[in-house]
Chain A
């Protein structure tokens, strides 16, 4: 379980247009690239120092590769990071096909089994 690492992925990819573009077009390749080139950099902006022990679980890696925001919600990835990055990836196409907010409403509907329940915590 390494929700911090998942959040770090979402934070860095959402903040970098080059990484974000590849996350849309080639998510498996981007997850591999991020793990190899970015994930273990100490913090979020250090190209020299590294952290030796951070890694994804298989479930986390699969959820990121599949853009599976339901699983990401359920493992406690931060809601703001998830929403922001998947809006960046999907909103424009959904608006063109189905109108404004159609992606956001589908996102909500896919999480509707959580209505009335305590959500998984995003606390680390």
Chain B
């Protein structure tokens, strides 16, 4: 059976590359060097797990999918994936990529999800947006591993419940555990802590709700799903910031890892957001 060598849950900040590399040093934000150092340290947690392929969890930000047909849960099944849309290059400076796919695991995952009561949509012409490319840039910038992309709806309400994201993570874990392969799989998912976009609390000196951020990181780091499900609702996330619902993809990632303490936890208070970098090693810490 396949080996789940690492599970990574991270915020995705689309300006990472622009802020730390594409902007001339004298014009960079004061936190740029620390940000880069923390990201490169986080990258080592994936490198140490020596993955052969990546299950990637993210959410389309109205790039390919729109409200005429927005999938609640979707998996890609393709030999390759283009990544980065025109308006992401324009706003964030994110380059384009072509990532290899793994159709066998995509198909196995899709069937396994159907068998477990998750009636996914499937795409055979999916283009990847920054929710998946940002963690590639931060944790595997050589972009040399095949991916299985999974999209969730944290973006176009009504949304599934936090409980559903946890259950989906648990289902993905059981499918990976059953996958008949001796390859090492890492699961990497990106989301948000408290976040405000297009509202009165956007682009402040900190994220919109530092109290939520502190609790959220502690809940994830300790594997405390009970506290999350007691405290995190769509309403409470809205109260923390209008785009905070991306936290549910971090719950999903903890679902893949299980209710366990994380092996690596780091964070960075940036302008308008708190970044979080977390890793679990279900088969033991390889470092």
> Is A57 interfacial (CB 8 A cutoff)?
no
Q: Is the CB of A80 within 8 A of B68?
A: no
- The smallest beta-carbon distance between A70 and chain B, in angstroms, is 10
A105–B201 alpha-carbon span in the complex (Å): 9
Instruction: Assess A80 versus B243: contact at CB under 8 Å? Given A73-B198, A101-B203.
Output: yes
Q: Are the CB atoms of B67 and A107 closer together than 8 Å? A: no
Contact stretch, chosen from B47-55, B155-163, B220-228, B257-265: B155-163
| Whole-angstrom CA separation of A119 from B26 in the bound complex | 39
Also in contact, A108 and B85, with CB within 8 A (given A78-B156, A83-B197): no
Residues of the A chain whose Cβ atoms lie less than 8 Å from the Cβ of B67:
4, 7-8, 124
Q: How far is the CA of A24 from the CA of B205 in the complex (A)?
A: 29
- Across the interface, do B62 and A79 meet the contact criterion of CB distance under 8 Å? no
Point out the residues of chain B lying under 8 angstroms from A88, CB to CB.
87, 90-91
Query: What separation, in Å, do the CA atoms of A98 and B41 have in the docked complex?
Result: 35
Chain B residues lying within 8 Å of A43, measured Cβ to Cβ, are 66, 68-69
B202's partner among A11, A14, A78, A107 (CB-CB below 8 A) is A107
Contacting pair A119 B199 (CB below 8 A):
yes
Q: Which residues of B contact A114 (CB under 8 A)?
A: 199-200
Q: Does B197 contact A44, Cβ atoms closer than 8 Å?
A: no
A96 interfacial contact with B, CB 8 Å: no
Q: In the bound complex, what is the Cα–Cα distance between A107 and B199 (angstroms)?
A: 8
Residue of B61, B62, B271 with most partner-chain A CB within 10 A: B62
Interface residue? B97 (CB, 8 A): no
- Taking the closest CB of chain B, its distance from the CB of A100, in whole angstroms, is 8
Interface residues of A toward B: which range?
A: 35 or more
CA distance A111 to B227 in the complex (A): 33
Which residues, 1 to 58 on A, are CB-close (under 8 Å) to B?
Answer: 4, 7-8, 11, 14-15, 17, 42-44
Question: Which of A7, A14, A84, A108 contacts B199 (CB under 8 A)?
Answer: A108
Check B190 for interface membership: any CB of A closer than 8 A: no
The answer on a CB contact under 8 Å between B202 and A83 is yes
Residues of A within 8 A of B204 (CB): 108
Q: Total number of A-B contacts with CB less than 8 angstroms?
A: 84
* Bound-state Cα–Cα, A17 to B201, Å: 29
Contact partners of A63 in chain B: CB under 8 A: none
Chain A proximity of B247: nearest CB distance (Å): 16
Interface size on B, residues (CB 8 A): 28
A42 to B, closest residue via Cβ:
B68
Contact B200–A14 (Cβ < 8 Å): no
**Residue pair B197, A80 in contact (C-beta under 8 Å):** yes
The interface centre, meaning the residue of B61, B85, B202 with most chain A CB atoms within 10 A of its CB, is B202
B121: A residues at CB distance < 8 A: none
Central interface residue in B61, B199, B201, by most chain A CB within 10 Å: B199
A15 and B203 contact, CB distance less than 8 A: no
A15–B91 CB distance below 8 A: no
Contacts of A14 in B (CB 8 A): 87
Contact B198 A79 (CB under 8 A): yes
A 68-102 binary contact with B (CB < 8 Å = 1; else 0): 01000100001111111001100000000000010
Q: Are B91 and A79 in contact (CB under 8 A)?
A: no
> In the complex the two chains form, is B238's CB within 8 Å of A118's CB?
yes
A98 to chain B, nearest CB (A): 13
Q: Is B10 an interface residue (CB 8 A)?
A: no
Residues of A within 8 A of B (CB): 4, 7-8, 11, 14-15, 17, 42-44, 69, 73, 78-84, 87-88, 101, 104-105, 107-109, 111-115, 118-119, 121-124
10 pairs, A vs B, C-beta closer than 8 Å: A43-B69, A69-B198, A78-B62, A79-B199, A83-B198, A88-B90, A88-B91, A108-B201, A121-B157, A122-B156
